[in-house]
């Protein structure tokens, strides 16, 4: 082959190789672009009571070991964490505290992923039910179903009348601000065991007949979270099976939720560090995040 022809072939080969390398580099860079991830929600998302505490906003009692941080660390996502203890659905669109703006302000058209737990604080469902049933359990010595006898369907009625429409509106506000994002609404892991456990009474003083009553209220709340998620195009992350056997009555190292008394967290009846990790892992599995 003539020398000048050989040089042309070599130059063409180099150019083609360079173009291929550029193409592959561009593809790899695009594939590796980190997710723009926004975490919204209440204390179960904030990891309230789990150390270390996020010192950037002490009002929200947010942990840097909460499930959003676990997801971000494992996926390389760029995280905006605006979760806040005691948040209600209304705090997606209104300020919760002075200097703590509406949570949807963290979203925009470039947001790729949103996760949240919300609804448990609306109507004071969690705190009121636990407080009422705990007090009734102590007074009854753990016998009967004094909380159910007194409150009946009150908590369930409030969930249907108030929490469900508020959940749907909150999720619609998320969709409006982040139209291109995948939105995952997480259910709440089990607080109560499937059946009464007399050995748990010292840690969670709920009368034997009220254990199923409280668990039913939580199941109802999770059901309306699922319904609102499905009706607004969000993904529901179900913990009904995954968290079975990890309720607040179980031993440390097994339980995901801390009991009311003699627990290890500064905030009782909330996920511990193990619970936050397991919530992250379940959410990642459902969403297909590696």
Choosing from 23, 43, 63, 69, the catalytic residue is 43
Question: Which value, in Å, is the radius of gyration of the alpha carbons in the chain?
Answer: 24
Choosing from 151, 220, 246, 270, the catalytic residue is 270
Residue 43 appears among annotated catalytic residues: yes
Helix (H, G, I), strand (E, B) or coil at 81: strand
Contacts of 14 (CB under 8 A, 6+ apart): none
Contacts of 175 (CB under 8 A, 6+ apart): 183, 232, 233, 234
Phi (first) and psi of residue 27, to 5 degrees: -65, -45
* Lookup: tokens for 226: 């699922």
Helix (H, G, I), strand (E, B) or coil at 195: coil
- Give residue for tokens 């309230």: 48
Contacts of 61 (CB under 8 A, 6+ apart): 43, 46, 48, 49, 53, 84, 85, 267
Rounded to whole angstroms, the Cα distance separating 78 from 60 reads 20
How far is residue 222 from each of residues 17, 120, 225, measured CA to CA in Å? 55, 9, 5
Instruction: Please report, to the nearest 10 degrees, the dihedral formed by the alpha carbons of residues 194, 271, 246, 281 taken in order.
Output: 120
| Other CB atoms within 10 Å distance of the CB of residue 48 | 23
**Secondary-structure breakdown of the chain: helix, strand, coil percentages, each rounded to the nearest 5:** 50, 10, 40
Annotated catalytic sites, by residue?
43, 270
């Amino acid at each position: 082959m003539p020398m000048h022809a050989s040089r042309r072939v070599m130059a063409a080969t180099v150019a083609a190789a360079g173009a291929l390398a550029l193409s592959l580099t561009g593809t790899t860079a695009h594939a590796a672009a980190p997710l723009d991830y926004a975490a919204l929600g209440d204390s179960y998302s904030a990891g309230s009571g789990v150390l270390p505490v996020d010192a950037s906003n002490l009002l929200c009692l947010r942990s840097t070991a909460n499930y959003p941080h676990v997801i971000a660390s494992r996926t390389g996502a760029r995280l905006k964490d605006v979760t806040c203890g005691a948040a209600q659905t209304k705090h997606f669109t209104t300020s919760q505290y002075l200097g703590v703006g509406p949570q949807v302000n963290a979203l925009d058209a470039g947001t790729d992923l949103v996760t949240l737990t919300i609804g448990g604080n609306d109507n004071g469902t969690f705190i009121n039910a636990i407080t009422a049933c705990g007090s009734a359990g102590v007074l009854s010595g753990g016998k009967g179903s004094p909380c159910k006898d007194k409150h009946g369907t009150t908590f369930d009625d409030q969930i249907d009348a108030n929490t469900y429409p508020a959940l749907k509106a909150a999720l619609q506000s998320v969709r409006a601000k982040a139209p291109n994002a995948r939105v995952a609404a997480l259910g709440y892991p089990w607080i109560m065991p499937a059946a009464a456990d007399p050995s748990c009474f010292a840690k969670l003083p709920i009368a034997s007949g009220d254990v199923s009553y409280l668990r039913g209220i939580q199941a109802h709340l999770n059901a309306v979270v699922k319904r609102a998620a499905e009706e607004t195009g969000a993904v529901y992350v179900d913990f009904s099976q995954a968290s079975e056997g990890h309720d607040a009555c179980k031993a440390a190292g097994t339980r995901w939720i801390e009991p009311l008394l003699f627990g290890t967290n500064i905030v009782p009846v909330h996920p511990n560090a193990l619970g936050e990790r397991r919530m992250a892992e379940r959410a990642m599995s459902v969403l297909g995040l590696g």
